[in-house]
Amino acid sequence: MTIPLKEFMAKSLADPEVKREFDALEAEFAIASELIRARARAGLSQAELAERMGTSQSAIARLESGRTLPSAKTLIRFAEATKSKVELRLTAA
């Protein structure tokens, strides 16, 4: 039996320990989401983006999964390859 994602998330996040861990990863999820949106805007597959960046499709997949945080240099290369612009802001918590 499968459970819809929203139902699974609601049930999982009801556990305070799971919620705490999930919240701790918020920044990584935000970065990964921005990378995915930039690639989608550019109309590129992971393989096409990897070719433009001189890397592998699996490296792009790791960046987009949030498992690997990009360096500033990688962010700049990603932005150039997707015809995007890197902006960095630190805001009060």
Give 33-70 pLDDT, tens digit per residue.
Answer: 999 999 999 999 999 999 999 999 999 999 999 888 99
Model pLDDT, residue 13: 92
Q: Is residue 10 assigned to a domain?
A: no
Q: Is residue 28 assigned to a domain?
A: no
Q: Is residue 26 assigned to a domain?
A: no
Average pLDDT of every residue of the chain: 93
Q: Which domain holds residue 57?
A: 45-82
Q: Is residue 74 assigned to a domain?
A: yes
Q: Is residue 18 assigned to a domain?
A: no
Q: Is residue 72 assigned to a domain?
A: yes
In angstroms, the CA 80 to CA 65 distance is: 20
Q: Is residue 7 assigned to a domain?
A: no
Total structural domains in the chain? 1
pTM: 0.79
CA 6, 35, 16 angle in degrees (round to 5)? 35
Q: Is residue 77 assigned to a domain?
A: yes
User: Is residue 58 a contact partner of residue 46, using CB atoms and an 8 Å limit?
Assistant: no
